[in-house]
Amino acid sequence: MDFGQLRQLVAIADEETMSAAADVLRMPQPTLSRSIRRLEDDFGFALFDRVGRKVTLNDAGRTAVEWARQLLRDEQLMREAVETSARQTQMLRVGTVAPAPLWRLTALLMERFPRETLTSRMLDQQGIIHMVSNGTLDLGIIEANIPSAKPKALRDAGLRSCPLMVEELSIILPPSHPLAAYKSLTAAQLDRETFLIMTDIGFWRQRVDHALPHATFIEQNDSMVFSQLAHSSPYCMFITNAPFRGDPPAGRVIVPFDDPAAHADFLLVTRDSARSMALELFDWVNRT
pLDDT of residue 127: 92
Residue 63 included in any domain: yes
pLDDT of residue 18: 85
Q: Based on the domain organization, do 173 and 250 belong to the same domain? A: yes
Contact 68/243 with Cβ under 8 angstroms? no
Per the structure, the complete domain to which residue 204 belongs is given by 167-263
CA separation for the pair 38, 100 (Å, rounded): 25
Contact 208/217 with Cβ under 8 angstroms? yes
Rounded to 5 degrees, φ, ψ at 158 are 75, 25
Residue 193 included in any domain: yes
Look over the chain and give the mean of its residue pLDDT values, rounded to a whole number.
88
Q: Residue 32: give its domain's CATH number.
A: 1.10.10.10
Burial 35-57 (b: 16+ CB within 10 A, else e): bbeebbeeeeeebbeeeeeebeb
Residue 84 included in any domain: no
Residue 85 included in any domain: no
- Residue ending a domain, choose from 45, 77, 109: 77
Q: Residue 247: give its domain's CATH number.
A: 3.40.190.10
Q: Based on the domain organization, do 139 and 185 belong to the same domain? A: no
Q: pLDDT above 90 covers what percent of the chain? A: 47
Q: Based on the domain organization, do 37 and 48 belong to the same domain? A: yes
Q: Based on the domain organization, do 112 and 179 belong to the same domain? A: no
Q: Based on the domain organization, do 198 and 249 belong to the same domain? A: yes
Which portions of the chain are predicted below pLDDT 50?
none
Q: Based on the domain organization, do 31 and 118 belong to the same domain? A: no
CA separation for the pair 170, 256 (Å, rounded): 4
Q: Based on the domain organization, do 171 and 161 belong to the same domain? A: no
Domain total for the chain? 3
Q: Based on the domain organization, do 256 and 192 belong to the same domain? A: yes
Residue 118 included in any domain: yes
Write out pLDDT tens, residues 46-70: 888 887 767 888 999 899 999 999 9
Residue 83 included in any domain: no
Q: Based on the domain organization, do 139 and 278 belong to the same domain? A: yes
- Residue ending a domain, choose from 77, 106, 141: 77
Which uninterrupted H or E stretch holds 281? helix 276-287
Residue 82 included in any domain: no
- Residue ending a domain, choose from 27, 51, 77: 77
Q: Based on the domain organization, do 52 and 176 belong to the same domain? A: no
Contact 125/203 with Cβ under 8 angstroms? yes
- Provide the 3-class DSSP secondary structure of residue 162: strand
Q: Based on the domain organization, do 211 and 69 belong to the same domain? A: no
Contact 191/212 with Cβ under 8 angstroms? yes
pLDDT of residue 188: 96
Q: Based on the domain organization, do 249 and 109 belong to the same domain? A: no
pLDDT of residue 216: 95
Closest C-alpha among 201, 196, 238, 191 to residue 219: 196
Residue 86 included in any domain: no
